[in-house]
Amino acid sequence: MSETPEHDDATPGTPETAAAGGRAKAIGALVYFSSASENTSRFVAGLKLGEAGINVYRIPLKPNAAMLNVREPYVIMVPTYGGGDARKAVPPQVKRFLNHAGNRAWIRGVIASGNTNFGSAYGAAGDIIAAKCRVPYLYRFELMGTREDSRKVRDGLVRFFTR
């Protein structure tokens, strides 16, 4: 993983949900992508990460939307595409986001959702991003996740950013 750049002219994006709870600044951030199905978006909303001191940013769905620029340490959460074809697992919008060196410099981990019907490609987007960006694959969950998945992700992110 590349080091955090000393200077980057890109204007940082505004969090969809900002850290709350009286903290002077966020402990970290979650960047996520959600398709039109909104499954990942609903999962993220249920985490209530702002209350835990974690900023939340969403990668735009529309390919022609302005580029999201994140300039703080973050974990990325992505759904797995491709219907079992690992070569198509990472959504194009996520590739575009991570192909920007300024964004890639701040990634610290990855969480992915998937469908166990995809067999060995279950959660493959996380495997691909973790390998390419040289960050840990922190967690995978099926489809919209369960309450237990939500608890584990929220608690795990807090531990990850405060260790």
Asked if 53 and 18 touch (Cβ cutoff 8 Å), the reply is no
Q: Kindly give the confidence (pLDDT) of every residue in the chain, 163 residues in length, as a single tens digit, with 9 standing for 90 and above.
A: 445 455 555 677 778 777 775 445 899 999 999 998 899 999 999 999 999 999 999 999 998 899 999 999 999 999 999 998 989 999 999 999 999 999 999 999 999 999 999 999 999 999 999 999 999 999 999 999 999 999 999 999 999 999 9
| pTM score, whole prediction | 0.89
d(CA 38, CA 144): 9
